């Protein structure tokens, strides 16, 4: 790929990633749709730059354009849904996109060199997907532990309230419920 096309494509990538990273809070449906439309438009522009290339350079260029679009759309969806599941899916989509680009780059090789390249790409992909899934499990476990701790702390506070009677007990139980979100 020529340096001109590579630098133009990297400019589109940087613009797309900067746009996707601007909003770190939950987005509205309109913002989500705008981000998806922008990702599609950026893909079409980047894809158009690939038309003058030939052979493996063109394949790599097209895969890079698709990868940028896939990452941007997955990030937009994660921002819109704002759940651990959506963030994990975005990380997996990015790993899939990177894997597609890596396989395309391997297409220009032959023989054992190509086989090694594909296996390396597959290993990187497997690692990235595994880390995304593991991080989600760790996050889920931490949330569950916090909930269990809060429940146990509430039970202790409620037990302390049993020593009281009447209005004092009612106030103690109400305070414990408010403190521990019960």
pLDDT tens-digit map of 60-74: 999 999 999 999 999
Instruction: Report the C-alpha gap between 3 and 56 in whole angstroms.
Output: 15
User: Is the pTM of the predicted complex or chain greater than 0.85?
Assistant: no
**Confidence band, pLDDT 50/70/90 cuts, at residue 178:** very high
Whether 3 has a pLDDT exceeding 60, the answer reads no
Instruction: Report the C-alpha gap between 97 and 63 in whole angstroms.
Output: 8
Biggest CA–CA distance in the chain, Å, is 85
* pLDDT > 70 in the chain, percent: 85
pLDDT digits (tens, 9 = 90+) for 131-167: 999 999 999 999 999 999 999 999 999 899 888 889 9
User: Average pLDDT in the 73-80 region?
Assistant: 94
Q: Which of 4-8, 28-32, 141-145 has the lowest mean pLDDT?
A: 4-8
At residue 25, the pLDDT reads 53
Q: Are 115 and 92 in contact (CB under 8 A)?
A: no
Whether 14 has a pLDDT exceeding 80, the answer reads no
Instruction: Report the C-alpha gap between 4 and 146 in whole angstroms.
Output: 52
């Amino acid at each position: 790929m020529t340096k001109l096309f590579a630098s133009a494509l990297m400019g589109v990538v940087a613009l797309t990633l900067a746009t996707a990273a601007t909003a770190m809070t939950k987005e509205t449906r309109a913002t989500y749709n705008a981000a998806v439309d922008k990702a599609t438009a950026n893909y079409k522009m980047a894809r158009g730059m690939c038309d003058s290339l030939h052979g493996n350079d063109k394949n790599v260029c097209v895969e890079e354009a698709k990868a940028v679009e896939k990452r941007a759309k997955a990030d937009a969806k994660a921002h819109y849904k704002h759940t651990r599941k959506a963030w994990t899916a975005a990380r997996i989509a990015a790993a899939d996109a990177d894997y597609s680009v890596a396989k395309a780059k391997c297409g220009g090789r032959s023989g054992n060199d190509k086989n090694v390249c594909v296996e390396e790409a597959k290993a990187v992909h497997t690692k990235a997907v595994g880390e995304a899934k593991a991080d989600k499990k760790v996050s889920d476990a931490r949330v569950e532990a916090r909930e269990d701790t809060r429940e146990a702390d509430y039970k202790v506070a409620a037990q302390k309230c049993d020593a009281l009677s009447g209005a004092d007990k009612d106030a103690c139980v109400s305070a414990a419920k408010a403190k521990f979100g019960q």
